[in-house]
Amino acid sequence: MRPSQFLWTLLSLVTVTCAAHTSNWAVLVSTSRFWFNYRHLANTLSLYRTVKRLGIPDSQILLLLPDDMACNPRNAFSGTVYSNADRRMDLYGENVEVDYRGYEVTVENFIRLLTDRWEEGVPASKRLQTDEGSNILIYMTGHGGSEFLKFQDSEEISSWDLADAFSQMREKKRYNEMLFMIDTCQANTLYRQFYTPGIIATGSSEEDESSYSHHADNDVGVAVIDRWTYYVLEFLETQVTGPTSDKTLGDLFDSYDVGKIHSNPGVRWDLFPGGEQAGRSRRVVDFFGNVQNVELQGNKSGVELLKDDLEGLKRLVRDYESFAAAQENNNTEMLDVLQRRTEPTNGKNTPPLTKQNPVGRVNTSETSQWTRRIGGATVLSGLAALWYFAPKLV
Amino acid sequence: MKPAAANSPTSAAMTTTKQPPPEKPEAVRLRTKIVLSFWAVILLLGFPTWWQTTSIYRADLPLQDMLNWAEGLNTPTSIPLHIWVSAPNLPCPDAQRIVRETQQALDDLNEYPTLHQRLYLVNWWSTGKDNKEEKGTPSTSCGENPSSPDLGDPALRVLLEPAKDGFAFELDPVIAKAVVYIPRTDANNVSKRLAENLHELFKEEQVAAALQTVALASHTQNAQAFLRSQPYDVVTRIEKQINRAYKSSSEFHLTFSLFTAGGVPSSWDVQDALSKHIQPLVQALSNTSEFDITTQIQLYSSYSPAIQPVTKEGMEGAFLQQKDLTAFVNAAEWPLAPSIGDGPTINFILYVPVQDEIPLKIDGVEGTSWLIPQWGGIQITNPPLQPDPMTGGMSLPAHLAGELLRQPFETFSSQLLSLLGVPQANQSGKLLPLQLRLDAYKRFSTLTLYLKAASSLGSLARLAQRLSNIPIQKHVAELVDDAIGNLTAAEHAFLESRWDAALIHSRIAYRDSEKAFFDKSMVGQVYFPDEHKVAVYLPLLGPIGVPLLVGLLREIKRLVVRKRGITP
């Protein structure tokens, strides 16, 4: 029958729309300091430009830059950062919002950022406030090795750390789909330990392979961009012309050319629901662009309806006030009624609350007392042994 | 015999090389004691210290309980919605029959158990009006007493009135009350039509609740089946409405900002506008969430530099491209999101362009306001230019008076309702009475917070099971206990249809479960693979461990030898 078929198509549509994607976020991380790592900051800033051009607002981009190349004393072009020797485009420009800088870029902060476990009072601009409808782009670049990436020459993040952080995000429904990109030596090993569904991962080089820089600018004096990032950006800039582009991730990954990149880029599809086929058909702008559309409103529509509402509200407020006044007047009677109506709920609901707390507290304090006793006994017996044996040693 | 045989080679060797004098027995005993005391210190002091300092504190969590909540095993199978019916001017048996038959018809119409309407014949009309009670009409004995503890909060009060002409269902324009006119003639049809009307009234709320259940809970066959039975366009419309809204929270901050691109206007009658347009709404919503209101004025804060408005031949002012509107907010320079407290901030921005751009409009549409889902509302205002006494030319007013703010704040208040997710006009463009919509929002919010709290508990439990090296502090366990207690209380309130109590408990449960999950101490710092652990311990334990172990082995060997020597 027709209607039953219609219902079945409805079912599939409903399930699709329930997994809807409603916002886009980008986390762009450079992990290295110092002037000779100029290219890592340039990589990240280039990506930042691109996602901003494709429509992700600054409030939904988290930019982590451990060093400030624009103001480095060795920078011959102070106040600017370029990712190309032609120096046509200043990446630093006038409007770059760096969320974490300098020594704030640490492994701990990065994991806190992903899992959103902060002390109170961390500003919203530093937090990844995603929900079950958010698509997240994570781009990392720096120096790494097999299953680790160095942060600021002092720490490292491992593939397991990332995998665990992502699984916690998944548990709390903090993302819908995620694209993880990494440009570092042995980059493909960094997503090896991931186990959480919904992630597409891509990296610049295989295990035991280096990722190379693309070219150096002789006037800047250092390499300005990495090869893999350069060709990804080239694709994004030339093929993905605007927020409505329908280029897919498949197109992006097919554009990888080992001859140009000088290393073997990798892609991991198996965590993505639907596998490679579904992943390849995702549009590039699903991750690099912004799905969040504004809703235009005429100045007239809605307001007419609301006028009635406001009138209604005033009436409601008057009702509340008169109710309050009445309550004050004959409060004995009203209170009686109210009490009788709330009593059963109170009577039923409070016991579980009061019961469960003390139990937990008593338990924990008991165990800590025991550990203290054992500790004391150990120290005492150790001292006694020392007192007994020490004279015999001499 | 054996020791003698063993001794013979050593005695033979003695003759060839010079040997140290044999150890005295007390020296041997002393060495044994030294070795033993070293081991005693290691086992009694060293090992507990190492264990204590390297183990990760994990408080006991009621894992199975938490998972049960997330699985929905404790969730009530049906959440009734109480409707009070009163019929002071009908004979009591008639009223009872109508209620019974309508309930039957409702049960047939609607099999989804969440927010299922239950009719109660309640004598609310007479107690509401004291003068009627004094008359002592026969209806006072018909139906339950409204203060009876068995009754929950009414979602709707229905007054049945006898009528000469046909059936009519009339809703009060503001409060949740309906008058139903019942013709004397076709009594059978009445209950069916009444049921249909009631069902229609709460259907969209049920769709919203089902959508939220599907999104947040794990056992959702019922909800999915219900959604499948509903028209597709209704479901998508309500889904869009939910997606546009902020996630339910017990606290919201409303920030009203005036951004002017130049130095004027530098003040506005915001207090007046707020008390006129926003306060009544906030007051009506105050039993659902708390609202803080802040305002700010920022001068010389232009929109994002990425935007270039265009000018058109023969037209005044400038035009914004529609595609640029997403990038309008200058997130780098505008001080938005002050992050006060826990709740999300809803932004309302009134933007006054520089004089050259006035009037600033949006290309292709009439209005100058737009809404960014889950973020806030933006409105461009073009105040009329005034003659400037200093220069003689025209300039922007220094002060935005109340009349200029009326239209923007009316827009803001409608945007506020849609950003919170208060139900909008339904399919036919008809709005339900405000009280009903606010109540629907309250119920939706309660259900969402409840489901979210349960699902957070499940997430935390699975996390604790999977990641063995994540610390769990004592206060996290206490928060979990609190959350479970409140969820239980909310569940009881749901069953009795007491929405105010359910909201309070769900809200606390949500807050506690979120705090427990996002506790800052639960960052499993760095994962150490096993080979890393070996690499850390080996240099430490090698140099110490080898002499200790060798000493112990020697002592044991000596003891064994002696034992055999004594008892051959």
Q: What is the mean pLDDT of residues B118-131?
A: 62
The catalytic position among A143, A214, A215, A262 is: A143
Q: Is the dihedral of CA A193, A199, A200, A205 positive or negative?
A: negative
Q: What is the pLDDT of residues B455-505, one digit of tens each?
A: 889 889 988 888 877 888 888 999 999 999 999 998 888 888 888 888 999
B222 interface with A at CB cutoff 8 Å = no
Distance of CA B508 to the CA centre of its chain: 10
Of A109, A90, A89, residue with least CA distance to A99: A109
* pLDDT surpasses 70 at A3: no
In chain B, what percentage of residues exceed pLDDT 90?
A: 6
Q: What digits encode the pLDDT tens for the residues B228-269?
A: 887 787 788 888 878 778 877 778 889 999 999 888 888 889
* Lowest mean pLDDT segment, chosen from A213-217, B20-24, B460-464: B20-24
% residues pLDDT > 70 (chain A): 76
* Average pLDDT estimate for B527-546: 80
Average pLDDT over every residue of A47-72: 88
Nearest to A135 by CA among A190, A55, A205: A55
Predicted confidence (pLDDT) at residue A27 exceeds the cutoff of 90: yes
Distances (CA, A) of B284 to B273, B291, B327: 17, 11, 34
Query: What's the rounded mean pLDDT across residues A190-204?
Result: 91
| Range among A59-68, B124-133, B366-375 rated most confident | A59-68
Residue B71 tokens read as 């699985």
pLDDT tens digits along A131-155: 888 899 999 999 998 888 999 888 8
pLDDT at position A367 is 61
Q: Please, are residues A252 and A232 in contact by the beta-carbon 8 Å criterion?
A: yes
Contacts of A340 in chain B (CB under 8 A): 147, 149
pLDDT band for position B188 (50/70/90)? low
Q: Is the pTM here over 0.95, yes or no?
A: no
Sign of CA dihedral B22, B26, B32, B37: negative
Region B308-312: what's the mean pLDDT?
Answer: 84
pLDDT at A113 > cutoff 80? yes
Q: With bands split at pLDDT 50, 70 and 90, how would you rate the model's confidence at B4?
A: very low
pLDDT of B144? 72
Q: Residue A57 corresponds to which tokens in the numbers above?
A: 């607002």
Closest-CA distance of chain B to residue A249, Å: 23
List A63's β-bridge partners, or say none: A28
Q: What pLDDT, on a 0 to 100 scale, did the predictor assign at position A382?
A: 87
A185 belongs to the catalytic site = yes
Cα–Cα distance measured from residue A153 to residue A66, given in angstroms and rounded to the nearest whole number: 11
Is ipTM over 0.85?
Answer: no
| Greater model confidence, B14 or B93 | B93
Q: Around B44, how many Cα atoms within 13 Å sit in the side-chain half-sphere?
A: 18
Give the Å distances, CA to CA, from B498 to A84, A367, B149, B489. Answer: 66, 41, 11, 11
Q: Is there a contact between B33 and A392 if contact means CB atoms under 8 Å apart?
A: yes
Put simply, the answer to whether A59 touches B337 (Cβ < 8 Å) is yes
Catalytic residue among A185, A214, A215, A262: A185
Q: What is the pLDDT of residues B32-87, one digit of tens each?
A: 899 899 999 989 998 899 888 888 888 888 888 888 888 877 777 778 888 888 87
In angstroms, rounded to a whole number, what is the distance separating the alpha carbons of residues B224 and B210? 7
More confident residue, A129 or B151: A129
The 3-state secondary structure of B274-325 reads HHHHHHHHHHHHCCCCEEEEEEEEECCCCCCCCCCCECCCCCCCEEECHHHH
- Residue A5: what pLDDT? 46
Sign of torsion over alpha carbons B491, B493, B496, B499: negative
pLDDT digits (tens, 9 = 90+) for A292-351: 667 776 544 444 555 566 666 666 666 666 766 665 665 545 445 445 544 444 444 434
How much is the pLDDT for A231?
92
Write down the pLDDT at residue B136.
41
pLDDT, residue A344, reads 45
E strands present in chain A: 23-30, 61-65, 100-101, 134-141, 144-145, 148-151, 155-158, 177-183, 199-203, 213-216, 223-226, 266-268, 295-297
Examine the pLDDT at A97 and tell me if it is beyond 70.
Answer: yes
The candidate with the shortest Cα–Cα distance to B349, out of B312, B311, B388, B378, is B378
Residues of B in contact with A299 (CB under 8 A): 366-369, 407, 411
Q: What's the one-letter identity of residue B233?
A: D
Sort out which chain A residues have CB atoms less than 8 A from B339's CB and list them: 121-124
Residue A28 pLDDT: 95
Q: What is the pLDDT of residue A350?
A: 39
The rounded mean pLDDT for chain B is 80
Put simply, the answer to whether B331 touches A96 (Cβ < 8 Å) is no
Choose the mutation target among B479, B527, B532, B533 for the interface with A, i.e. most A CBs under 10 Å.
Answer: B527
pLDDT at A42: 92
Identify whether A71 is a catalytic site residue: no
pLDDT of residue B183: 76
Q: Each residue of A28-37: pLDDT tens digit?
A: 999 998 899 9
- Determine the average pLDDT of the residues in B202-211: 81
Strands A23-30 and A61-65: parallel
**Residue-wise burial string across B42-64, b where 16 or more C-beta atoms lie within 10 A, e elsewhere:** eebbbebeeeeeeeeeebebbbe
